[in-house]
Amino acid sequence: MKIGRRNFLYGGLALAGAGVFGVRWSDHHARAAASAATVAAGEGGFTVWLKIAADDVVTVYSPHIDFGQGSHTGLAQMAADELDADWAHMRVEQAPAIPGFATVELAQGFLPQVMGDGARHLPKALVAMLARNFPMQLTGGSTALRFTGQMAMRAAGAAARAALVEEAAERLGVPAGELTTAASRVTHARSGRSLRYGELAEKAAARSLPENPPLKTAKDFKLIGQSVPRMDIPAKVDGSAQYGMDIHLPGMKVATIMMAPVRGGKLTGVDDKPAMAVKGVEKVVRLDDAVAVVASGYWPALKGLRALSPQFSDGGHGTLSSAAIATAQDQLRAAGKPDKKHGSGDVAAALAGGRKLEAVYRAPFVHHAMMEPFAATAHFKDGKLELWIGLQDPLATRTMAAKAAGIGFDDVTLHTLIMGGGFGRRFPDKCQIIGQVVALAKAVDGPVKLIWSREEELRHGTYRPQVSGGMAAALDGAGKLAAWRMDYVQSEDSEAETRFPYQVPATARQHFQYQSNQDDGPLRSVNSNHIGFFNECFMDEMAHTAGQDPYKFRRAHLPEGSRHAKVLDAVAEKAGWGSPLPAGHGRGIALVESFGTIVAEVVEASVGADGAPVVHKVTVAVDCGTTVNPRNAEAQIQGAVVMALSMALGEEITLDKGAVVQSNFSDYPLLKLAGAPATIAVHFLDSGAEMGGIGEPGVPPTAPALANALFAATGKRIRQLPIRDQASLRS
């Protein structure tokens, strides 16, 4: 989750308090509109989240968009479990992009995480008013199941079940207490009579639903915890799934674009003629910081664009480079004036009095590299805009598109499409394509689809920022940590979302604010990504300084019986920590909590004959409280580990003269199948604690566990990512 989102929520609360927040949609009005848009005659709509048709089919409306995380199926499992529905009758549809389907429960769940526990007591009506009038419909922050699932879908299922039982009791003339529900039927066992949900739904939905229906406890779960097959997969194996890239409309034009190579630069001039000479090209459109070519198809548009020689300014960033950023960050840290200080205890005294170690860690800009490049289709006609796009917040997209078009929110219709990856790249406030496609739609007659080439997608990312961390720690006489300090330099303070899990008498986390010309973005696991690397590698250094085993050293700093200790113990046991390894192999361990989930990993690695690291096996222990769909959760963790290995081993965006050096997968190499470890064994500890996320938390422990494994194998300490750029690891 990105700070912009958080500021938005804070800002919204402040505005609401001041009475200046415009309320356009009352809760009642928004929900009524949502039902009108989704529930037909003969069907019963319960809350806005699910409906039951006469043929017993239950449709769940997901406000979250599928981009690989599998949450559509998980949300349906959670609703169906409380509803006692037959799984064969369950369907999931994407919720329309209207305020009645705003992610109210996400806002409700997320606020305490950024504002503290006090926010748990905010009235739901206030949060709902904010979420609907922002309006927000967010997919991100590993929140779909733990917030929308836990608070919206389960409650909707339970409320619908209660109403179905009441309706059946009246029809059968028996007390509700004598009725049971299972497999989409209400049954009166004593008389042997039963009614299908489909027969009851329309009338049941007209009853007043319980506001806070009792929910099942874990022992009664029938679907939560089951590895049911994902509903989205069949359409993804026969080519029928429709992504934003796949929209085709009659008379549609296709455009492609080139933005100022240096972020912050402007278009200063371009001669149309070379593009207009290309067969199929219809128009060259000048934007403030880009030039686009509109044509009959993508190929002529691309040929036309390549024929142009546009001139761009550099926004004053023409001397910026990755090396210059590293130097500027070091100077900021050396100046010793942090923008934010967190932690407690007298760190300076403890560092001065103990056995002290210092080191500087660095992580580069890293790109999301979603497999589907940006594509958006827009049609502007008679003051109305229609949009087809897949982004991580359709309602915020509508707001931004309306602003770009100079029309009202209600004059924008948005069709939400699934996304070919995202990983944090598709938050609307980071998506230049919204303004671009609106400008093109206003410049041409009929619909137009804008497709970014992979080169534009790679060079105009909102990267995980280039970051450095100055680490310092000291040991007391007993070989335990007496002090721990991290001085990190990046654009934002990460304190609210990262957590140092170890017990140390004196700690300091000092944020030094640095902003390059880039628009730093949230990338899968966000700040925990690089902060986890700094902390967990330096923890390894301190273990070795103390002459202790890295697992036992960590363990000695965790409270006995804590969730963190249990997860660490589990991964050590499952990985066979301490057991013999083939010559040249090493094991590394790391533990990071993010998005409410605690993950520990052990990586087994060696160095190949060519000096490149080889990852043999990754063992993962996960405590996310409750696992809704273990097989999908396993896939999310395995995928996160593979992505994190790819980033750690070879990914780096560098700047030169203010512009991104890399251009495509040819010089920004991603891990392929041959480089993936043979085994990623995932173990879930179903602790029953408050549910955590699953999409992101597998990322952060991977890079440090790998770097620590390579230290164990070679004796060479890695303090900079990617590992590819270290001197040969071969001893």
Partner 1 sequence: MTITATVNGKAVEFNGEGDTPLLWALREELGLTGTKFGCGIAACGACTVHVDGQPTRSCSLPIEAAAGKAITTIEGLKHADGTLSAVQQAWIEVQVPQCGYCQSGQIMAAAALIAKNPHPSDADIDAAMTNICRCGTYLRIREAIHRATGQAAQAVSGGAA
- CA separation for the pair 595, 696 (Å, rounded): 7
Least CB distance to partner 1 at residue 166 (A): 38
**Nearer residue to partner 1 within complex by CB, 18 or 678:** 678
Comparing C-alpha atoms, which of 613, 648, 565 is closest to residue 366? 648
Q: What are the b/e assignments for 613-642, b being 16+ CB within 10 Å?
A: bbbbbbbbbbbbbbbbbeebbbbbbbbbbb
Least CB distance to partner 1 at residue 124 (A): 33
- Please give the residues from 78 up to 117 whose contact with partner 1 meets the rule CB under 8 A: none
Segment interacting with partner 1 (CB under 8 A) among 165-173, 200-208, 583-591, 634-642: 634-642
**Nearer residue to partner 1 within complex by CB, 205 or 644:** 644
- Please give the residues from 16 up to 75 whose contact with partner 1 meets the rule CB under 8 A: 66-70
**Nearer residue to partner 1 within complex by CB, 236 or 716:** 236
Binds partner 1 by CB under 8 A, chosen from 125, 233, 323, 348: 233
Least CB distance to partner 1 at residue 532 (A): 18
- Please give the residues from 324 up to 363 whose contact with partner 1 meets the rule CB under 8 A: none
Least CB distance to partner 1 at residue 606 (A): 17
Least CB distance to partner 1 at residue 394 (A): 17
Question: What tokens appear for 535 in the block?
Answer: 């902390």
**Nearer residue to partner 1 within complex by CB, 430 or 524:** 524
Q: Contact letters (x/-) for partner 1, 447-476, by CB under 8 A?
A: ----x-xxx---------------------
Binds partner 1 by CB under 8 A, chosen from 86, 170, 178, 246: 246
**Nearer residue to partner 1 within complex by CB, 248 or 381:** 248
Segment interacting with partner 1 (CB under 8 A) among 326-334, 366-374, 393-401, 407-415: 366-374
First and final C-alpha spacing in the chain: 41
Least CB distance to partner 1 at residue 164 (A): 32
Least CB distance to partner 1 at residue 678 (A): 4
Q: Does 225 bind partner 1 (CB under 8 A)?
A: no
**Nearer residue to partner 1 within complex by CB, 214 or 234:** 234
Q: Contact letters (x/-) for partner 1, 517-556, by CB under 8 A?
A: ----------------------------------------
- CA separation for the pair 404, 392 (Å, rounded): 18
- Please give the residues from 558 up to 597 whose contact with partner 1 meets the rule CB under 8 A: 574
CB 644 within 8 A of CB 702: yes
**Nearer residue to partner 1 within complex by CB, 93 or 410:** 93
DSSP string computed for 155-199? HHHHHHHHHHHHHHHHHHTS-GGGEEEETTEEEETTTTEEEEHHH
Least CB distance to partner 1 at residue 550 (A): 23
CB 377 within 8 A of CB 438: no
Q: Does 672 bind partner 1 (CB under 8 A)?
A: yes
Binds partner 1 by CB under 8 A, chosen from 254, 308, 395, 441: 254
**Nearer residue to partner 1 within complex by CB, 401 or 615:** 615
Size of interface with partner 1, in residues (CB under 8 A): 79
Binds partner 1 by CB under 8 A, chosen from 6, 89, 230, 460: 230
Binds partner 1 by CB under 8 A, chosen from 26, 35, 226, 227: 227
- CA separation for the pair 700, 688 (Å, rounded): 23
Give just the sign of the alpha carbon dihedral 323, 328, 332, 338. negative
Q: Does 238 bind partner 1 (CB under 8 A)?
A: yes
Binds partner 1 by CB under 8 A, chosen from 7, 331, 513, 679: 679
Least CB distance to partner 1 at residue 239 (A): 2
**Residue 507 corresponds to which amino acid?**
T
Q: Does 400 bind partner 1 (CB under 8 A)?
A: no
SS3 511: strand
- CA separation for the pair 49, 44 (Å, rounded): 11
Alpha helices in 39-103, H assignment, sequence order: 71-83
Q: What are the b/e assignments for 402-424, b being 16+ CB within 10 Å?
A: bebbebeeebbbbbbbbbbbbbb
Comparing C-alpha atoms, which of 337, 407, 398 is closest to residue 132? 398
Tell me how crowded residue 561 is: count the other CB atoms within 10 A of its CB: 7
Q: How many CA atoms lie within 13 A of 214 on its CB side?
A: 4
Binds partner 1 by CB under 8 A, chosen from 370, 389, 543, 628: 370
Binds partner 1 by CB under 8 A, chosen from 670, 687, 716, 720: 670
Least CB distance to partner 1 at residue 597 (A): 15
Question: What tokens appear for 277 in the block?
Answer: 């000479």
Segment interacting with partner 1 (CB under 8 A) among 146-154, 161-169, 181-189, 226-234: 226-234
Binds partner 1 by CB under 8 A, chosen from 371, 446, 584, 730: 371
- CA separation for the pair 10, 113 (Å, rounded): 12
Give just the sign of the alpha carbon dihedral 339, 343, 346, 347. negative
Cα separations (Å) of 292 from 280, 442, 455, 644?
14, 13, 14, 34
- Please give the residues from 266 up to 305 whose contact with partner 1 meets the rule CB under 8 A: 279-280, 297-300, 302
Residues 6+ apart with CB under 8 A from 172: 179, 188, 191, 193, 195
- Please give the residues from 403 up to 432 whose contact with partner 1 meets the rule CB under 8 A: 418-423
Residues 6+ apart with CB under 8 A from 352: none
Question: What tokens appear for 379 in the block?
Answer: 């049609």
Report the length, in residues, of the chain.
731
Strands 467-475 and 481-490: antiparallel
Segment interacting with partner 1 (CB under 8 A) among 103-111, 208-216, 320-328, 675-683: 675-683
- Please give the residues from 194 up to 223 whose contact with partner 1 meets the rule CB under 8 A: none
Binds partner 1 by CB under 8 A, chosen from 115, 215, 241, 328: 241
Least CB distance to partner 1 at residue 652 (A): 16
- CA separation for the pair 31, 35 (Å, rounded): 6
Q: Does 640 bind partner 1 (CB under 8 A)?
A: yes
Q: Contact letters (x/-) for partner 1, 599-628, by CB under 8 A?
A: ----------------------------x-
Q: Does 651 bind partner 1 (CB under 8 A)?
A: no
Least CB distance to partner 1 at residue 299 (A): 5
- CA separation for the pair 255, 293 (Å, rounded): 5
**Nearer residue to partner 1 within complex by CB, 668 or 711:** 668
Bridge partners of 472, per DSSP, are: 358, 485
Instruction: Give CA angle at 140 (138, 141), nearest 5°.
Output: 125
Binds partner 1 by CB under 8 A, chosen from 330, 630, 716, 720: 630
Least CB distance to partner 1 at residue 372 (A): 5
Q: Does 313 bind partner 1 (CB under 8 A)?
A: no
Least CB distance to partner 1 at residue 240 (A): 7
Q: What are the b/e assignments for 330-365, b being 16+ CB within 10 Å?
A: eebbeeeebeeebbeeebeebbeebeebebbbbbbb
Least CB distance to partner 1 at residue 130 (A): 30
SS3 701: coil
Least CB distance to partner 1 at residue 639 (A): 4
Q: Which residue has the tokens 């309306």?
A: 402
